[in-house]
Structure 1
Amino acid sequence: MNSKNKINVLSKISASMKIAVKKSLEISKQNPVATDNQTMRKNYETERKFWNEGGAVMFKSTEILVDKIRARIYYPSDKNSYEVIFFIHGGGFVVGSIYTHDRMMRNLAFYSDCAVVGIDYSLAPEAKFPTQITECEAVISHVLKNAKSYQINPKSVAYAGDSAGAYLAFATFLYQREQKDVSNVKAMGLFYGIYGLKDSASRTLYGNEIDYLRSEDIEYYYKEYLNDLSEFENPLVNIFNADLTTNIPPCFIIAAQFDPLKDDSLALFEILNNTSKYKEYKGVMHAFLHYSKVLNVADKAIKDASKFLAKKLKI
């Protein structure tokens, strides 16, 4: 489609979302121009430091290493045992870390009163599919195997993630489902994820230099992540090629009104709607959950997801 026909998203987003975008652009202008992945990662870490300030205060947190994979465990309150949410961060497989998503995970832990385990999987292209999935599985298995040491209830587990992390959360579940009993996974929180649509109305109408979700951006992320683009048809890459009709836990699916990936979330919900919930948050763009510092709807969305997950975990 002619780029002139795209929706002018910046003229339609809410006043609070405009404030968030303006502040992010101000921070980004202080960063060096990114011509490689390493600079992109540093810039992303720098920009997210501001947005991670404040937020929920944890009772305690700790970092662990599982086969050189870093993870951070957040404990929101003083309890002997916690239900657990394993959180997988987004960033197009190329950027992001447990540090860039710190406030998001703290708020999720606080509002759900669950322990949250953030997984710092290896980034692409240094690590290719399915490394990210197997690393997430390794951390989850380690924590559950040592549940008593980590004060975790291994029988009451949820997965969550944002953007590429939402996809990785779902793909990790599917990967595990092929190998073992996953009945302990009671729910998933899937926040504006990318699941496998090749084209859609939202991808055609939205996507710009602010959200980095233009068609060429998405193509770049997949080229970095996959060994070969033919792998896109693998059911662990394109979720819609997997069997989603049975043995999927209830999902809370978050979408943003002006997100190119919105139709991915809607399509997934239409398949899962007998057990899951879909909610589109108005006036916001992709990645809006990062901006709870100025965006009340981001805080509300995390509360909504936390309430859903906590209920499914039977707290």
Structure 2
Amino acid sequence: MTINPQVDALLTQMRQFPAPDFNTATPAEVRAASDNPLAFGLAPEVALVRDLTVPLPGRSLAARLYVPERGAGPAPLTIYFHGGGWVVGTLDTHDRTCRALTLASGSAILSIAYRLAPEHPYPEPLEDCYGALEWAAANSKALGVDAARLAVAGDSAGGNLAAATAILARDRGGPALCHQLLIYPVTDVDFSRPSYRENGEAGGFLTTAMMRWFWSHYLAGRTTDETPLAVIAQVEDLAGLPPATVLTAQYDPLRDEGEAYASRLKGAGVACQHWTAPGMIHGFVSLFEAVPDAMPWIQRMGARLRQALG
């Protein structure tokens, strides 16, 4: 399938605006260009949106709680980690995505503003995400959610963090997770895959140069052997992880690594549903207001969460 016409029209509009040069750009410059939420209409309405603070040892994290409906008893909870290459992204850039997923799933969503690289390289963002999961489980009554029905979710680098958080929860005996929702997740540092060769040049929403830049800041000059849960494709044992949904996009440089991770989960005996969205690009879920064809994929993911969380 050729690129979705709604996506193509949006990319044409976006090319009118200057993009950072990832050979020379600083994190501050990329954040200034990227951390402005794209708004194409009124935000989806949910029953409750509440900003709060997650206190963790030595630091505190901003977070935002979305509740789909009032008065229906404690809702299940999905902890959401935003994308942005571990360097950019905010609660606001993913506000509408969380609202849409809340409505589609019937799950409350707790979006976490984890600390960002390069100021906070691996493993600090991951430890923030795992710490937020532990905190949410321990404070479920105050949040008005059901600690027995927990999931993690994230897109792109947030999908990487969600997958790694699920692994930490297994290995550390942490809160039991019912599901992990991985939306075009970063799983590997292999830029030779066909999807990189096909989709990694300038003109798309995500490029090879961007991913090299993101990885360099997250790893901070260390090898993948020194950062074992950064490259989740290299995690040897995936058995015993919670059931998963993995969504990839046809025209995404990360397509092949996401598909490979889904295949490895299945091979390890993890119940895993994988879809590749035809005609779509990296980031398309968060563009659903300008790309209405993304909404059925949000509904599909929401249905998977709804089923997994009972």
Question: Hey, what's the Cα distance between the residues in 2 that align with 1:218 and 1:276?
Answer: 26
Note the C-alpha offset of 1:197: 4.9
Does residue 1:190 correspond to 2:182, yes or no? yes
- The gaps in structure 2 that reach 5 residues or longer are none
Question: Hey, what's the Cα distance between the residues in 2 that align with 1:54 and 1:24?
Answer: 21
TM-score, normalised by the number of residues in structure 1: 0.89
Does residue 1:62 correspond to 2:50, yes or no? yes
Note the C-alpha offset of 1:232: 5.5
Contact kept, 8 Å, 1:222 with 1:229, in 2: the verdict is no
The 5 Å alignment of 1:272-311 reads 272-273=265-266, 275-311=271-307
Does residue 1:25 correspond to 2:15, yes or no? yes
Partner of 2:81: 88
1:175–1:201 Cα change, 3 Å: same
**Which has the higher mean CA deviation after the structures are superposed, 232-241 or 253-262?**
232-241
Which of residues 3, 23, 29 in structure 2 aligns to 1:13?
Answer: 3
1:245–1:173 Cα change, 3 Å: closer
SS where residue 103 of structure 1 aligns?
A: helix
Q: State the one-letter code of the partner of 2:145.
A: I
Note the C-alpha offset of 1:33: 8.0
**Which has the higher mean CA deviation after the structures are superposed, 54-63 or 91-100?**
54-63
Partner of 1:6: none
After superposition, what is the alpha-carbon deviation per residue over 1:14-48, rounded to whole angstroms, capped at 9, x for unaligned?
2111122133334x34x8989421121122122x2
Q: State the one-letter code of the partner of 1:302.
A: I
Partner of 1:179: 172
Question: Hey, what's the Cα distance between the residues in 2 that align with 1:197 and 1:226?
Answer: 11
1:256–1:32 Cα change, 3 Å: closer
Q: State the one-letter code of the partner of 1:50.
A: A
Pairs aligned (count): 299
Runs of 4+ aligned residues of structure 1 deviating over 6 Å after TM superposition are 31-34
Q: State the one-letter code of the partner of 2:52.
A: I
After superposition, what is the alpha-carbon deviation per residue over 1:228-283, rounded to whole angstroms, capped at 9, x for unaligned?
33135643012122244411111111010111110011101111235111111111
Which of residues 305, 309, 313 in structure 1 aligns to 2:309?
Answer: 313
Does residue 1:133 correspond to 2:126, yes or no? yes
SS where residue 171 of structure 1 aligns?
A: helix
Question: Hey, what's the Cα distance between the residues in 2 that align with 1:229 and 1:210?
Answer: 30
SS where residue 154 of structure 2 aligns?
A: strand
Which of residues 68, 76, 100 in structure 2 aligns to 1:76?
Answer: 68
> C-alpha root-mean-square deviation of aligned residues, in Å?
2.1
Contact kept, 8 Å, 1:70 with 1:119, in 2: the verdict is yes
The 5 Å alignment of 1:187-226 reads 187-198=179-190, 199-211=192-204, 213-226=206-219
SS where residue 209 of structure 1 aligns?
A: coil
Note the C-alpha offset of 1:201: 1.1
**Which has the higher mean CA deviation after the structures are superposed, 147-156 or 240-249?**
240-249
Contact kept, 8 Å, 1:256 with 1:281, in 2: the verdict is yes
Identity of aligned residues (%): 24
Question: Hey, what's the Cα distance between the residues in 2 that align with 1:205 and 1:32?
Answer: 22
Question: Hey, what's the Cα distance between the residues in 2 that align with 1:210 and 1:177?
Answer: 39
Q: State the one-letter code of the partner of 2:224.
A: E
Q: State the one-letter code of the partner of 2:12.
A: K
The 5 Å alignment of 1:109-128 reads 109-128=102-121
Question: Hey, what's the Cα distance between the residues in 2 that align with 1:216 and 1:73?
Answer: 34
Question: Hey, what's the Cα distance between the residues in 2 that align with 1:132 and 1:107?
Answer: 25
SS where residue 93 of structure 2 aligns?
A: coil
Does residue 1:50 correspond to 2:39, yes or no? yes
Does residue 1:108 correspond to 2:88, yes or no? no
SS where residue 148 of structure 1 aligns?
A: helix
